[in-house]
């Protein structure tokens, strides 16, 4: 692995844990947070802003030559896309779970080089689990190797499913019906990033969502691929800036999940 990639993997883990400590402090006072609505069922809090600011400051101090794309982009954190390396960040993925006091939320930090997700780090501060991976280096959780499920049947575990009002309800209801008819069972955590980390660790056998933004899933894509899983070409077209559907799954059910989702894994 290139030294530059190794440096970014190590630093991303440190930054994610630093951001997690700040996020947990906000989580403890969630009843008093300023909450804004970005759209129907799409909220953002002062915690999201503060955590993204911390991540932005620490990344730009360490790697000033890199680009930055954050979910909560602002004049203080302008979007800057750099082909040689751009950080793609969701400061709190699972914001609704965070707001309502549920533990399914995380910090998601990805580094994309020449259009390829190269480093992925997801930190779950509530359970102190650091999921990390870089291309060619495998995937780990708290330093222990991870691998996807070895199931060959949809009935062999739970499939994560996500939905947002960014797309029509049929885009989730029809795949959900196909999954159930195929013997599968759905699980919605409210955090795509955490769900993808759980696919990488074999806790879920797949994850599908009809639309995600890049900051929700690029770190998880690196984790799943390095843990032996299969993923669709999420960055096709303008996926980096406008998002796309996502399918990530154990290799043994790739054919079945392609039918459920009508997506192709690479």
Establish if 131 lies at the interface with ligand LIP (CB under 6 A).
no
Establish if 66 lies at the interface with ligand LIP (CB under 6 A).
no
At its nearest, how many Å lie between ligand LIP and the CB of residue 164? 3
**Residue 165 vs 177, nearer CB to ligand LIP:** 165
In degrees and rounded to multiples of 5, residue 262 shows phi and psi of 60, 30
Establish if 49 lies at the interface with ligand LIP (CB under 6 A).
no
**Tokens 């993997």 belong to residue:** 9
Two structure tokens written together for 50: 């503060």
At its nearest, how many Å lie between ligand LIP and the CB of residue 38? 8
Establish if 192 lies at the interface with ligand LIP (CB under 6 A).
yes
At its nearest, how many Å lie between ligand LIP and the CB of residue 209? 5
Establish if 93 lies at the interface with ligand LIP (CB under 6 A).
yes
H/E/C letters for each residue in 205-255? CEEEEEEECHHHHHHHHHHHHHCCCEEECCCCCCHHHHCEEEEEECHHHHH
β-pair partners for 44: 36
Establish if 209 lies at the interface with ligand LIP (CB under 6 A).
yes
Distances in Å between the Cα of 234 and the Cα atoms of 27, 156, 245 are 31, 25, 7
**Residue 93 vs 226, nearer CB to ligand LIP:** 93
**What is the contact surface with ligand LIP in residues (CB under 6 A)?**
71, 90, 93-95, 162-164, 191-193, 209, 216
């Amino acid at each position: 692995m290139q030294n530059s990639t190794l440096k970014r993997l190590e630093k991303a883990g440190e930054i994610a844990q630093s951001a997690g400590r700040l996020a947990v402090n906000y989580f403890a006072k969630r009843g008093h947070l300023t909450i804004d609505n970005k759209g129907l069922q799409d909220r953002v809090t002062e915690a999201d802003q503060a955590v993204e600011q911390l991540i932005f400051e620490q990344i730009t101090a360490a790697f000033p030559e890199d680009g930055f794309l954050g979910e909560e982009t602002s004049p203080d954190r302008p979007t800057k896309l750099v082909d040689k390396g751009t950080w793609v960040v969701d400061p709190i993925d699972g914001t609704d779970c965070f707001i309502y006091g549920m533990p399914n939320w995380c910090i998601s930090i990805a580094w994309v080089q020449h259009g390829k997700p190269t480093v992925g780090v997801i930190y779950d501060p509530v359970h102190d689990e650091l999921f990390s991976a870089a291309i060619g280096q495998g995937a780990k959780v708290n330093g222990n190797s991870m691998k996807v499920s070895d199931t060959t049947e949809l009935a062999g575990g739970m499939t994560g499913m996500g939905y947002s009002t960014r797309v029509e309800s049929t885009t989730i209801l029809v795949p959900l019906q196909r999954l159930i008819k195929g013997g599968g069972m759905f699980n919605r955590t409210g955090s795509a990033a955490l769900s993808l980390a759980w696919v990488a660790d074999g806790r879920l056998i797949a994850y599908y969502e009809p639309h995600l933004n890049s900051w929700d899933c690029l770190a998880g894509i690196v984790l799943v691929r390095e843990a032996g899983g299969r993923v669709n070409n999420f960055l096709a077209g303008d996926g980096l800036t406008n998002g796309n559907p996502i399918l990530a799954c154990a290799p043994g059910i790739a054919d079945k999940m392609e039918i459920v989702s009508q997506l192709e894994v690479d």
